[in-house]
Structure 1
Amino acid sequence: MRGSDHAELRAFVAVVEHGSFVKAAAHLGLSPSALSQTIRSLEERLGVRLLNRTTRSVAPSQAGERFLARLRPALSDLDAAVADLRSLRDSPSGLLRINATRIAAIHVIGPLIGPFLEAYPDITLDLVSEDRLIDIVANRFDAGVRLGEMVEKDMIAVRLGGELRLMAVAAPAYLARHGTPATPHDLARHRCINFRWPTDLSLYHWEFEREGRPLEAAVEGPLIVNEPEVACQAALAGVGIAYLFEHQVRPGLDSGQLVHLLADWSPPFPGFHLYYPSRRQMAPPLRAFLDFVAARSRQA
């Protein structure tokens, strides 16, 4: 297979996975026009249209779908073969792609980046943060980071970081005006700051637990956000009650600008997990990251 053949095949897969010539071109480090010419050359050589294009979208044709189904496993095997050869080197090298929620990327992966890349200078880490849950295999990620309850059962999951805790918080000024809720049921009479899931755009039902009994509260209030930091700022300003991770509100609690509410109803729970598909040949960069995380856990 010529190098140009390989590049064309990679380009085709990238366009399908990103659903956009612009996004695929940015991922491949090409200009959109160069990528478009690469796809045209591939279609001309094969004598079949692989992609259906409109001014707003791009999607594989029927022939493109069949070609993609055969192509993905072949490229995966090729990547594994290259990774296997690279593993013979003294130091692991190559690209490690991880998809994580924004919170996990900042607070869990972020502190590991410096020490990890110092220990493995030949590895390039491609960290993509997004809150929607994606298929890491179809999107060609080596691993993902999500809360344990969100990880599919067919994935191998490794604990990453410690326990987490959600906290209902409000400013003293708000509590002086509206009173303090004694149970989650009391939230129905309060001004709460809602969070909208980026996945299906539904509103998050606040999850509580006491003595092993779970309770969900559908709250209402003057503000709906999809960015936790905005909810924290609004709570500090006295807008209403927010429900956020402890690390997001800890500075406000320590300074007295926020008050922790319903503490008995918010026990800690297992936090983020690094997950990856079960593969016979694990890429050396991922193996190096798993070993690095395990070593850090033993030292903690």
Structure 2
Amino acid sequence: MKALADLRLFVRTAEAGSLSAAARLLDLSPAVASAALRRLETELDVQLFVRSTRSLRLTTEGERFLSHATEALQLLDEGRQALHGDRAELRGELRISAPSDLGRSALLSWLDTFQQQHPRLLLRLQLTDRVADVHRQSIDIALRYGPPPESSLVALPLAPDNRRVLVAAPAYLQRHGAPASPKDLQGHNCLRFLLSDELHTHWRFTAPDGSDCRIEAQGDRVCDDAEAVRRWALAGAGIAYKSWLDVADDVAAGRLSVLCPDWRGEPTPLHLVSPGRRMLSPAVQRLRSFLQARCAAVPPPPSHGPAREIVR
């Protein structure tokens, strides 16, 4: 197993950009780590890193070998877990990308519970509202609203019935009243969102009679971070058009109210996105089942008007 340990050290060193940092992560002394790296280079008959007193960087050969080493370690972890089926202890590393608001409002606490159940699993979470490139080695899976950006990706549903809702804080509604329908939003301050440098101003709804309605949202605030838009809404700065999963806890606690509940917002199904079924390791499969159960436990949006009661 010494060769496997050397391979793990190489991958950790490449990720950290530092042999000493990788040694600390793997609980090795600097001398042992340095000897292991030299041993691997001798075995491969190549130089993997260019070393100087201040920096460490991969050689061309090291960059070429890194993807193979990473995949080999992942396959070995999967094989170890497959020996014991669902009873196997999850190990290794799982790198996840998720939207900022979902991550902070729900996913952080969900992952805390998941990691308590699997303490040997290392989670690396990246919160971003930019579409993550799951083909890169730095990400195993991504949680994303809507269809995947590329047809080559595998998208597994987590919350297929999720949709957007209009929300505002009680303080805003006390000052400005609640719109009777989305058509009245032109008289309100709408908190808008940038996604991959595209401004989302067209808010779409389905009317109670089944007809489609599209509103041109206007307001004095725009941000590319969905969490910032949610915080503006909580502070009473205006009306937001949010994924229900992002604001369900705020609505349940009374911090936000759902507006125009009889008008259905546009669908925003949540998917677990992977570069291919080869990447659906036991850890990914168990995480998917766990997140599906958590999403299913979130109560659906209200279908009648609690927001109207606020302004009576």
Fold shared, TM-score > 0.5 on shorter chain: yes
- Counterpart for residue 88 of structure 2: 92
Distance 1:91 1:78, change over 3 A: closer
> Does the aligned pair in 2 maintain the 1:221–1:240 contact within 8 Å?
no
In the alignment, residue 94 of structure 1 is paired with which amino acid? L
Name the SS of the counterpart of 1:160 in structure 2.
strand
CA contact (8 A) 1:252 1:258 kept: yes
Which whole-Å CA distance do the structure 1 matches of 2:50 and 2:139 have between them? 25
The offset of 1:244, in angstroms, is: 2.2
Contact 1:99 1:128 in 2 (8 A): yes
Query: Residue 184 of structure 1 contacts residue 217 of structure 1 at CA under 8 Å; is this kept in 2?
Result: no
Q: 1:36 to 1:185 in 2, by over 3 A?
A: farther
Out of 122, 125, 128, the position equivalent to 2:125 is: 128
- Give the conservation status (yes or no) of the 8 Å contact 1:205–1:218: yes
Indicate if the aligned counterparts of 1:165 and 1:268 stay in contact, CA closer than 8 A.
Answer: yes
2:81 aligned residue: 83
Match of 2:4 in 1: 6
Conservation of the 8 A alpha-carbon contact between 1:192 and 1:221: yes
Q: Conserved in 2, the CA contact under 8 Å of 1:192 and 1:242?
A: yes
Shift in alpha-carbon separation, 1:297–1:62, aligned structure 2, 3 A: closer
Partner of 2:152: 154
- Map 1:113-262 to 2 at 5 A: 114=113, 124=121, 126=123, 128-131=125-128, 132-136=130-134, 138-139=136-137, 143-150=141-148, 152-161=150-159, 163-170=161-168, 171-175=172-176, 187=186, 191-197=189-195, 200=196, 203-210=199-206, 215=214, 217=216, 219-222=218-221, 224=223, 226-228=225-227, 230-246=228-244, 248=247, 251=250, 255=254, 258=257, 260=259
Secondary structure of the residue that 1:164 maps to in structure 2? coil
Q: CA deviation at 1:9?
A: 2.4
Per the alignment, in what secondary structure is the counterpart of residue 144 of structure 2?
Answer: strand
Give the C-alpha shift of residue 84 in structure 1.
Answer: 3.4
Contact 1:100-1:144 within 8 A present in 2 as well: yes
Aligned-partner Cα distance in 2 for 1:148–1:217: 21
Query: Can you list the C-alpha shifts for 1:68-101, whole angstroms capped at 9, x where unaligned?
Result: 35434443443343333344xx822222726252
What is the CA RMSD across the aligned residues, in angstroms? 5.0
Sequence identity (%): 22
Amino acid at match of 1:244: K
**CA offsets per residue over residues 150-173 of structure 1, 9 Å max, x none?**
364334433223622323344124
Residues 275 and 6 of structure 1: CA distance in aligned 2, closer, same or farther (over 3 Å): same
| 1:65, distance to aligned residue in structure 2 (A) | 2.5
What SS does the corresponding residue of 2:132 show, helix, strand or coil? coil
C-alpha distance in structure 2 between counterparts of 1:35 and 1:207, whole Å: 59
How has the CA–CA distance of structure 1 residues 41 and 54 changed in structure 2, closer, same or farther, with 3 Å as cutoff?
closer
Residue 225 of structure 1, CA deviation? 6.2
Gap regions ≥5 residues in structure 2:
299-312
Q: Is the 8 A contact 2:158 2:271 kept in 1?
A: yes
| 8 Å CA contact 2:190, 2:217 repeated in 1 | no
- The residue number in structure 1 matching 2:272 is 274
Specify the alignment match of 1:65 in structure 2.
63
- Aligned equivalents of 2:131 and 2:21: distance in 1? 20
Deviation at 1:268, TM superposition (A): 4.9
Provide the C-alpha distance between the structure 1 equivalents of 2:224 and 2:198, rounded to a whole number of angstroms. 11
Deviation of residue 36 (structure 1)? 8.0
Q: What secondary structure sits across from 2:159 in the alignment?
A: coil
Distance 1:121 1:108 in 2: 16
Structure 1 segments unaligned to the other structure (5+ residues): none
What secondary structure, in the 3-state scheme, does the structure 2 residue paired with 1:99 have? strand
TM-score (norm 2): 0.62
Number of equivalences: 285
**1: CA distance, partners of 2:284 / 2:251:** 37
Q: State the 1:130 CA deviation.
A: 1.6
TM-score where L is the length of structure 1: 0.64
- In 1, distance between residues paired with 2:183 and 2:23? 47
Q: Is the 8 A contact 1:191 1:241 kept in 2?
A: yes
